[in-house]
A and B are shown apart, each in its own frame.
Chain A
Amino acid sequence: MKKTLSFLFALLIAASAWAYVDDALSFAYEAASPYVKKGFSVREDAWGGDLGVKDQQAVQAQLFKGNEYWFCLGTDVKGAVLSVNIYDSKGNLINVETTRAGRLSAVRVEPPRTGTYYAIVTVHKSPEERTGWALVYAYK
């Protein structure tokens, strides 16, 4: 019985974790939707997780010179302030344009070189201890 309860509890935790990533992902796709109308293709692949306040996560991306990209970030936590910024492999900021509205934020980049870039997600403030986030990107 104890084992069954532990299993169910673990299942419940896993299900909740998926739920907040799913919610954050929905917001990330919502953040990307205006760019679809501008001819951008939104990738089906995505990054996601959860962070504490003031925590940061860097994720790697292979970007190609000649393309334009929008990186779109969503969170499931109302009132949380998150940002995403893009840096080259030497750590230099390459943002061209940024937008933020409620749970959505986005940044546009035009990579000066083909190579490895880093999307850095930061939770600036949040009413929750852990804040779920998801990041998608669109290209054209």
Chain B
Amino acid sequence: MPNILNAVLAAGLLAAAATTLHAQKPPEAVDLSSFPAQSIDDVVVPVPSEVFIVLDKLGNPNWRSELRDSLGRQSGNRAQVALLLGTVIAEGFVAVEAEDSEKVKDIGRRVLTLSKAINVEKAVLERSKSITDKAEVKEWLAVRKEFDGALQDVKAAMQELGDDDLAQLVSVGGWIRGTEVLTSIIRKNYTTDSAELLHQPALVNFFTKKLDNLSNKRLAEDDLVDRIRKLLIAIAPLIGDGEGDVIPSENVTRIHKMTRDTVAAIASKGA
């Protein structure tokens, strides 16, 4: 009997050790195709500053010159307001890079106005105040975090209201404005390393799928949304098929022009 107990105990210890070893030593390679599609469908959309700080490491961009004079006009069209809100939050990240307190405060106020237009003002009231307070004392890391938080709060509030489609449009708007700024900086001082930052196929694919599957018919048929669908289809072949593919300077310029025109359309209330 004690022998059996010892054997069981030893087996248990071996199993525990194996679990620990397994947890500590992951396989060097995995077959990603063995994962069910639904488990890898979701992508966390990076905030513009994730790519902006790489640009800072590669050179010394003139962030102030990338800031827009006008943040655009809002209409009564909810799709336009959501897209515009995304571009304005992205502008906040540019203003943080430029360390422009007044612009940051202006953007914080505009985030609040746009959120009010689509009934999610409550969710960003505190964030907006915090953006202003932290910009005043030039706590740039903290301001950046508040813009990230504002983006998530707005999206969460929209999802709570059953407006998941609108939440996606905020993300897409932010990504388009972020890409416009990214390409503007890259084309001024092109290197293959900086152009590689545009290699974002999973994100383009993710946004395309989301826009193709909007459940709200009015949003799905909106002219601006349709324009953005076409923009994503046009961008996809320009950002490289495989990792390490060189993205030529002409592609950067084309993506810049397309995103610049789309941001202008969003900001001027129409497709």
Contact surface of B with A, Cβ cutoff 8 Å: 19-20, 22-24, 26-32, 35, 39-47, 49-51, 53-54, 57-58, 141, 144-145, 148-149, 151-152, 193, 196-203, 206, 243-244
Contacts and interface: CB of A to CB of B under 8 A. Distances in A.
Interface in A56-83: 56-62, 64-67, 81-83
B44 A91 contact: no
Contacts of B54: 64-67
A16 interface: no
Interface in A109-140: 113-116, 118, 120, 122, 124-125, 137, 139-140
A7 interface: no
Given A59-B40, A60-B42, A95-B26, A44 B32 contact: no
A92 B148 contact: no
A57 B50 CA distance: 24
Given A66-B57, A114-B196, A139-B50, A88 B243 contact: yes
A93 interface: yes
B99 to A, nearest CB: 16
19 contacts: A41-B148, A57-B35, A59-B43, A59-B44, A64-B46, A66-B54, A67-B50, A67-B53, A87-B29, A93-B27, A93-B29, A95-B26, A98-B24, A113-B199, A114-B243, A115-B201, A116-B201, A122-B23, A140-B53
B196 A61 contact: no
The binding surface of chain A is classed by DSSP as strand
B111 to A, nearest CB: 14
Interface residues of A, number: 44
A44 B49 contact: no
B28 A64 contact: no
Contact of A125 (B19, B30, B40): B19
Given A41-B145, A81-B19, A93 B26 contact: yes
- Of B39, B42, B141, B202, the most chain A CB neighbours within 10 A belong to B39
B190 to A, nearest CB: 15
